[in-house]
Amino acid sequence: MLRLVASLLLATAATAIAQNTTQVYDYAIAGAGTAGLLLAIVLTENPSINVAVLEAGSDGRTNPNITIPELRGDIIDTEYDWDYYSTVQPGLYRNRSQAVNRGKTIGWNWETLSTAFRESEMFFAPPANASSAEDPDPANHGYSGYICSTLQRSVLSLLSDYVTPALLNAGYAVPGDRNGGNVTGAGFLPLAICPGNYTRSYAGSAYTAVQDRKNLHLYTNAQVTNISWASTSSGNITARGLNYVDTSGRTSNISLSIQADEIILSAGIAGSPPILERSGIGNPDILMPLNITPLVNLSSVGTGLRDPLMMQYQPLQYNFSVEFTGGEYAQNYIDLRPAQDVLSPSDYNAASTWLNSTASIPGLEDAQFTVFKHLWYTRQPLIEMAWQYSSTQSMPYTLVPLSQGTVHINSSDPMAAPVINPNYNSVTAIIGNETVPWDLWFLSRASQFYINELASSAPFSDVLTKTDPDHNLSPADYQQAVFERSGTSQHLTGGLPMLSRAAGGAVDAKMLVYGTRNVRVVDGSIFPYQPSAHPMGLTYAMAVHAAKILQQIKGSKVTYTEEPARSNSSSNATASFPNVAPTVTYNAKGSAVPASSSVTTFTGGAEKMEVGRWMVGGIVIALGWSGSM
């Protein structure tokens, strides 16, 4: 999922801050993204708290490529995208480098994070006449948060009339509202969309509602380069502020600075680790060759980067003998499955034998491997089948990969792109008598087993005429087909794991960077493990809970209750969609096209085409709603 963010520049504000050296904020946040901007919004609910947010990109809140759900992905390779790429990946077909598209514009457990989920959400139940094929439970949702959510506006009949009944006939679970914590199974999940005008709801739209706050200062075209230090004497070091570059051209691109009592990095997986390294926090073997003096020896910085392997270069394709309707708007039918549901008994037992006999994996912290085994044996979701387009295709991916990579700097130039290496398919396993790349093997076997189940279960089987790849291929040939089509899921997390320092962590449970007194990280890089779902909703919840922790540390007013009411008068709010035709929709290939040229009834096509429960302390955190992907 792209992290689309937004920010607003007050006239000549960056220059004014640079000249006002006596200004000291309570918090200075690097990055106005999914976490950083929402964190600032919650913190400044207290008018006595002053927050400055520095965003490298420009203000994109009025750009239709950002606001219209059906145009998701259209900001790739524009000014709102960092346009990063990974290193060459030997574990992928033809050593393909992967695009790492990141937005460039504006004590944790189930109880605390499920509360934060509800606090961040403003849920709208579907209208009574909506064909949502879902029955949300009001007790599992919030109704006064900053991020709107609702179920999709239309339902592709392929999903409601064929996929769901076939899964039930095959013995699969099709649960109700999964925001309650049990996410296993198939069904529609809410989208981060404001139903009134059917536009995306995100941190940028939330900021629009509060942009007149006098204590919230948001600056665009302000790219943070490193942290300035007040004290680097023995013991934990103390930050003074953030150094940044004005990329707008107003100040000749000179280095500027801002001061604050607390520094918070929210620059994401590709931004926060490099800022720490350029500030002297990281592995000395990486810093010293770049003439950066190590201030804190913290080799965990930039480690634990994960990107789930996804069959996205060419998803699973299906041909059918009937036509489908209801594809006018984006779909969000997500099937989350444990290994036991998507592997044959023999494959599951063989894989379990390898897991039982393997004590550790190079590059993977033992604590993380222990968590994976717990997920494996307790039937937690490890594979997703995403039906997200108004077309006859689905995209499988490994929710929790064992392969992990790194993100580091390789230049002292603060404007240079980081070196991003997800290290796909780097973990090998001996399953049966065969040595295989674990993530690829699991994705391939799970996909083939799942499609075979659908292809042999009515009513899906009654109308299916073709699959691509052919589900009847040998396991080896099917794995080769999956290998050729797999790459990034764009759901990268990690790089600054929240673990104990001894276990390979970079930040503690209060988001504090080890070895510092006042530098914290609040973004997806601190996830110690890949969430068994899309990370956006969890990132919003993390921002809300982080704000609460910071308020408690500072002794300031806590603006959210510890356990908000699970039901209130606003829980009866229902979505009221605009009575207008969609401006765009998806064609059978999953591409956004003008509504006038769209096709809403089709039989599918299997021709070749290219398309572009977080675990802490042993507790699974389930993501119940996602963005418009």
Q: Is 224 a known ligand-binding residue? A: yes
By C-alpha distance, which of 491, 158, 47, 141 is closest to 308?
491
For residue 363, pLDDT beyond 90 = no
Share of the chain above pLDDT 90, in %: 47
pLDDT tens for 44-76 read 999 999 999 998 775 555 555 544 454 455 545
Q: Distance between the two ends of the chain, CA-based, in angstroms?
A: 5
pLDDT tier for residue 346 given thresholds of 50, 70 and 90: very high
More confident residue, 628 or 227: 227
Catalytic residue status for 545: no
What's the whole-number mean pLDDT along residues 579-601? 39
Distances (CA, A) of 149 to 122, 125, 141: 6, 9, 9
More confident residue, 136 or 288: 288
Domains (range + CATH), the chain: 13-621 (3.50.50.60)
pLDDT tier for residue 97 given thresholds of 50, 70 and 90: confident
pLDDT tier for residue 102 given thresholds of 50, 70 and 90: very low
Rounded Cα distance, 241 and 258, in Å: 5
Q: Is 524 a known ligand-binding residue? A: yes
For residue 462, pLDDT beyond 60 = yes
pLDDT at position 358: 96
Rounded Cα distance, 435 and 339, in Å: 19
Catalytic residue status for 217: no
Query: For residue 283, what are the contacts with CB-CB under 8 A and spacing of at least 6?
Result: 297, 298, 299, 301, 302
What percent of the residues of the chain are helix, what percent strand, and what percent coil, each to the nearest 5?
Answer: 25, 25, 50
pLDDT at position 94: 81
pLDDT at position 555: 77
Report the range out of 29-38, 100-109, 212-221, 557-566 with the highest average pLDDT.
212-221
Element (H, E) at 437: strand 434-437
pLDDT-wise least confident of 23-32, 91-100, 276-285, 406-415:
91-100
For residue 230, pLDDT beyond 80 = yes
Q: Spell out where 566-607 has E strands.
A: 584-586, 592-594
Residue 381, φ and ψ in degrees, nearest 5: -60, 130
**SS3 at position 137:** coil
Rounded Cα distance, 480 and 501, in Å: 40
For residue 297, pLDDT beyond 90 = yes
pLDDT tier for residue 83 given thresholds of 50, 70 and 90: low
Catalytic pick from 141, 217, 471, 534? 534
pLDDT tier for residue 214 given thresholds of 50, 70 and 90: very high
For residue 615, pLDDT beyond 50 = no
What's the whole-number mean pLDDT along residues 97-106? 55
pLDDT at position 444: 97
The answer for 474, left when phi > 0, alpha when psi is -120 to 50, beta otherwise, is beta
pLDDT at position 128: 67
Distances (CA, A) of 152 to 82, 128, 132, 237, 548: 29, 13, 7, 49, 31
Tell me how crowded residue 131 is: count the other CB atoms within 10 A of its CB: 15
Catalytic pick from 217, 408, 471, 491? 491
Rounded Cα distance, 521 and 519, in Å: 7
Type of residue found at 145: G
Report the range out of 326-330, 385-389, 491-495, 538-542 with the highest average pLDDT.
491-495
Report the range out of 6-20, 108-122, 343-357 with the highest average pLDDT.
343-357
What's the whole-number mean pLDDT along residues 513-526? 96
User: Model's pTM, two decimal places?
Assistant: 0.82
By C-alpha distance, which of 164, 177, 174 is closest to 126?
177
Q: What is the mean pLDDT of the chain?
A: 79
Helices (H), 188-320: 203-208, 272-278, 284-287
pLDDT at position 193: 83
